[in-house]
Amino acid sequence: MNLNKYLNYVNFITRSTPDPALMGGKGSNLVKLAQIGVKVPPGFIVNVNSYKMFLEKSEYGEQIKELLRIDYKAKDVLPLSSNIKDLILRSGIPEGVLNEVKLSFEQIHENFGSEISFAVRSSASIEDSSQFSFAGQADTFLYNKSFDDVIKSIKECWASLFSPGAMLYLLQMRKKGIELSLLDIEMAVVVQEMINSHISSTLFTVNVLNNDKNSMYIISTWGLGETLANNIIVPDSLIIDRKDFKIMKEEIGKKKKKSIQNPERSGTIMVENDPFSRKSCSLNERQIQQICKLGLEIEDAFGSPQDIELAIENDIVYILQSRPITTLKI
């Protein structure tokens, strides 16, 4: 049965139609990736209707909206952000939304086994926009095991819209003459099967370092991908010829640490990489070829150069995200 037809607050990643206004940029692109047949971890998107309903109907909704209307300054950001987050986390989720999330959660368990964990990622309506990047501002919560863990992380994602960094971003946009209120931003949340990444990579289908459209740029490391976007480690870097996928330049990064599943509870921990792993390239030639081929297929489907996040578990490549590269000067 295609549940999508009966749901208002949730869309399954497969068998949906891309819709950035409803699913946020990240969610909508995942739907498109599933459509073109690349391997995306199964899951669903808690769409912006859920967030709107939450603000409308939850017990602290009015108080939250009151805080979002405050005309704040940079020095107010820390206490205001913390008050908003506290109210969001304390609020219950309206029943209509909760029921659909529960149904979707159970459906994924039924199809893919009850032992799987979930990754919960934000997909804001202005995130990854071409004018001002919100990329990386909002949060990701990994290894959610129970339904309650998933619900808590969905609320954490909503709250991350009002992180100190995000609130400062809006102030900065105001300085530049772009008036955007905290009430204007909407958030969808992506809930997917957690991939136990042995290797995490990001592929830029053109070389963003020097705007060379004849080569691609890959960064890669061991473990989960959160070390790549943040400045936690120095990953391996590869420059690849777009024509024949030959390695033009390879630099082994220090990769001192890696992020892995916390063995005791939800979430992740950082551990040291062993000396051999630090010195070895995290991708082999066959994987590089496979990734590059996939990258060009995705670029072709989206119609522009892409920045693609990948995870490899047991030699299977999963695409976690694809977004356009907006900074090329060609």
Partner 1 sequence: MKVIGKGLSCASKDEVTGELVYIQTVEDVINLFDTAEGKICLIEDAGTTTLGPILSDLTGIVCTTGSGGSHLAIVSREFDLPCIMNIDIDIEDLTQLNGKTGKISTEEDNAGILYLLN
- Minimum CB separation from partner 1 for residue 3, in Å? 34
Determine contact, residues 281/250, Cβ cutoff 8 Å: yes
- Minimum CB separation from partner 1 for residue 12, in Å? 29
Distance CA 38, CA 24 (A): 20
- Cβ closer to partner 1: 132 or 245? 132
- Cβ closer to partner 1: 195 or 308? 308
- Minimum CB separation from partner 1 for residue 76, in Å? 9
Chain residues binding partner 1 by CB under 8 A are 74-75, 77-78, 132-133, 135-137, 164-165, 168-169, 171-172, 176, 202, 204, 208-210, 217, 219, 228-235, 237, 253, 307, 326-327
- Minimum CB separation from partner 1 for residue 321, in Å? 12
- Cβ closer to partner 1: 186 or 307? 307
Contacts of 170 (CB under 8 A, 6+ apart): 180, 181, 182
Judging by DSSP bridges, how do beta strands 247-251 and 187-193 pair with one another? unpaired
Determine contact, residues 44/11, Cβ cutoff 8 Å: yes
Tokens 């159970």 appear where? 106
- Minimum CB separation from partner 1 for residue 177, in Å? 12
Of 283, 304, 124, residue with least CA distance to 204: 304
- Cβ closer to partner 1: 36 or 209? 209
Of 153, 155, 130, 126, residue with least CA distance to 142: 153
- Minimum CB separation from partner 1 for residue 310, in Å? 12
Contacts of 330 (CB under 8 A, 6+ apart): 206, 211, 213
Tokens of 97: 């939304």
- Cβ closer to partner 1: 111 or 172? 172
- Cβ closer to partner 1: 17 or 327? 327
User: CA-CA distances (angstroms) from residue 227 to 52, 138, 219?
Assistant: 32, 15, 11
